[in-house]
Structure 1
Amino acid sequence: MREAGRIVAQCHAVLEKSIQPGITTKELDQIAEKFILAAGGIPSFKGHHGFPACICTSINDVICHGIPDQTALQDGDVITIDIGVKLEGYHGDSAWSYAVGPITPALAQLMRVTKECLDLGIEQARPGKRIGDIGAVIQRYAEQFHYGVVREFCGHGIGQNLWEEPQIPHYGQPGRGPVIKPGMVIAIEPMITNGKWQAKIDRDGWTARTIDNSICIQYEHTLAVLESETVILTQL
């Protein structure tokens, strides 16, 4: 899983260099697929429950599961790219949000706070803690800024399957939920909006948007919980 995560992180680094006004999300998908296959991996998302692409590309008000197409990025957009890689039977999964050209200070703050939410959640992923501790700290921090914390989609266990138990909500009460134990591998992926937290699904059956067209930012890492430390598997 370290190697699958490494390919995910490397793919993000490659795509970040290509994110600029004018490039289409379909072109980003093609770059990602070529890189993953050349690295010896398999795109986890392509064909997963019928998803048609290698990566998810979610722009502005799209919360998650955006399908790559001929949409071109524009100055001031933010795009979340979610990448999954399967290698020798195990998965790695990470989403990252990127600014396209200059963005407003308010949007830059939303990105910063969402990344800090991920970091706070990771700090709670320790043996003896509970899954609810992760969501509680994320919700408490995000709501200090009057942001919305998406509830319809959550983090998850990951291993030989892309989505495994336990589910990891990004909201909730501390001290609740399953106990975190050594050997668990989980993905934490807070989705934070600058408006309402509720989602609606496009007619394609995949693309999830905020109901008020507010902007959504997401950051995600895959983590391995060990006896003495928690290791982030999807960073270089």
Structure 2
Amino acid sequence: MALANITLSQAAAASLQLSSSLFHGEGILSASSTLLMGSPLGSRNSSSPSSPKVTKRLLLVHSKRISGLEEAIRIRRERELRTSPTSKRMPPLRRGKVSQRLPVPDHIPKPPYVSSKLLPEISSEHQIHDSEGLARMRAACELAARVVDYAGTLVRPSVTTNEIDKAVHQMIIDAGAYPSPLGYGGFPKSVCTSVNECMCHGIPDSRQLQDGDIINIDVTVYLNGYHGDTSKTFLCGNVNRAMQRLVKVTEECMYKGIAVCKDGALFRKIGKRISEHAEKFGFGVVDRFVGHGIGTIFHSEPLIYHHRNDKAGHMVEGQTFTIEPILTLGTTECITWEDNWTTLTADGSPAAQFEHTILITKTGAEILTKY
């Protein structure tokens, strides 16, 4: 589950108050608003994302930031998305009906934040485990991986994201674990389901999946006092070539980032490697959301930046954290719905995300949440 890219001091002062109005093409938000799991946002033009004028303006903005070759690649990708014979233009994502929070049996241990609706502060603790802790960490991560694989088997046209949430919830509690997102800062569901232009933190609801959708399912479980966190983007039915490529390259970027990890390596190498690979295909790397340390605490330092950065710090053997890049076909700017969670690309372009929890070793990184 991604964290917003903000400092610890900002996190401590973070508020869940956000005045907003959003109908996919319109968002009116306070520039001073700050969300721990969202982002500070400003107002944006209310023109429809599908308008030719908006598309042209976005391309001009990107051309100022990247090379001519990279811009040509991006234009080609967007043209493929519009003209692919294998799919039609997807309608804008709309809110569905969110059902009531599912119960968790009393005998299942719950993380401490469940008793409060406030977002927990990001812990400054880097989570390094002894042998017993690592054994529990492995068990939590293995369960999370099995759950996300199972969730993927449910993805097909006409299935609702609420039905996926219910099935995931049941599998997690049947394993004696707690679904970590449930009750985290008031999040009402047991899993995040982010469809098409939703970057992350989508709340499961009554919307049926459509042929041609892509959906990221983000699973975190709390088992024996440890969190295991993973996510994967799945194809629903006949997905067009541009979106298929976006999903494929996003997964490749995650593995490129993991490949540079080892004891003593600089954290900033992760963002450099991910950005290099994404730019070859003309995709944007979202900088609003970051990976994070994980273990007995859901979100802690170190914060893992997936874009190019000059942040200090190096990895330590025995440390666990997530790498979870989000790539977009268009802009990396975002807007957040009134629920304070669901975050979409500002231009309505598709986004994809993959995530693994990893363990730093002397010579590399062990993936604890292997799919």
TM normalised by structure 2 equals 0.62
Structure 2, unmatched stretches of 5+, are 1-136
| CA distance, structure 2, for counterparts of residue 18 and residue 126 of structure 1 | 35
Residue 132 of structure 2 is matched in structure 1 by: none
Cα distance in 2 for residues equivalent to 1:143 and 1:90:
36
Amino acid paired to 1:162: F
- Deviation at 1:178? 0.9
1:50 matches 2:186: yes
- Picking from 338, 345, 357, the partner of 1:210 is 345
Name 2:334's counterpart in structure 1: 199
Question: What residue in structure 1 maps to residue 354 of structure 2?
Answer: 219
State the secondary structure of the residue aligned to 2:169.
Answer: helix
The alignment status of 1:134 with 2:288, answered yes or no, reads: no
State whether residues 161 and 206 of structure 2, in contact with CA within 8 Å, keep that contact through their aligned partners in structure 1. yes
Identity %: 39
Opposite residue 168 of structure 1, the aligned amino acid is I
The separation in 1 between residues aligned to 2:309 and 2:353, in whole angstroms, is 21
User: 1:225: how far off?
Assistant: 0.7
The residue that corresponds to 1:77 in the other structure is: 213
CA distance in 2, matches of 1:47, 1:223: 25
Contact 2:259 2:364 in 1 (8 A): no
Is residue 261–residue 364 contact of structure 2 (8 Å, CA) maintained in 1? no
**4+ runs deviating over 4 angstroms:** none
Unaligned runs of 5+ in 1: none
Give the RMSD, CA atoms, in angstroms: 1.0
Q: Displacement of 1:138 after TM fit?
A: 0.5
Q: Is the 8 A contact 2:201 2:343 kept in 1?
A: yes
Equivalent position to 1:122, from 255, 258, 263? 258
Distance 1:128 1:7 in 2: 29
Count of residue pairs the alignment pairs up: 235
Aligned AA for 1:66?
Answer: G
Instruction: Describe the superposition over 1:59-84 as per-residue Cα deviations: whole angstroms up to 9, x where unpaired.
Output: 00000000000010010000000000
Paired AA for residue 224 in structure 1: L
Q: CA deviation at 1:143?
A: 1.5
* Separation in 2, partners of 1:231, 1:159: 15
Give 1:65's match in structure 2, choosing from 201, 204, 208.
Answer: 201
Deviations, residues 155-207 of structure 1 (Å, cap 9, x unaligned): 11111111110110101247x42111101101000000000111111111100
Indicate the structure (1 or 2) with the bigger Cα radius of gyration: 2
Structure-2 separation of matches of 1:228 and 1:147 = 30
Alignment of 1:153-232 (within 5 A): 153-173=289-309, 176-232=311-367
Question: Which SS does the other structure have where 1:154 is aligned?
Answer: strand
In the TM superposition, what is the alpha-carbon distance from 1:228 to its structure 2 partner?
3.6
The reply on whether 1:90 has 2:226 as its aligned counterpart is: yes
Q: What's the offset of the Cα at 1:124?
A: 1.2
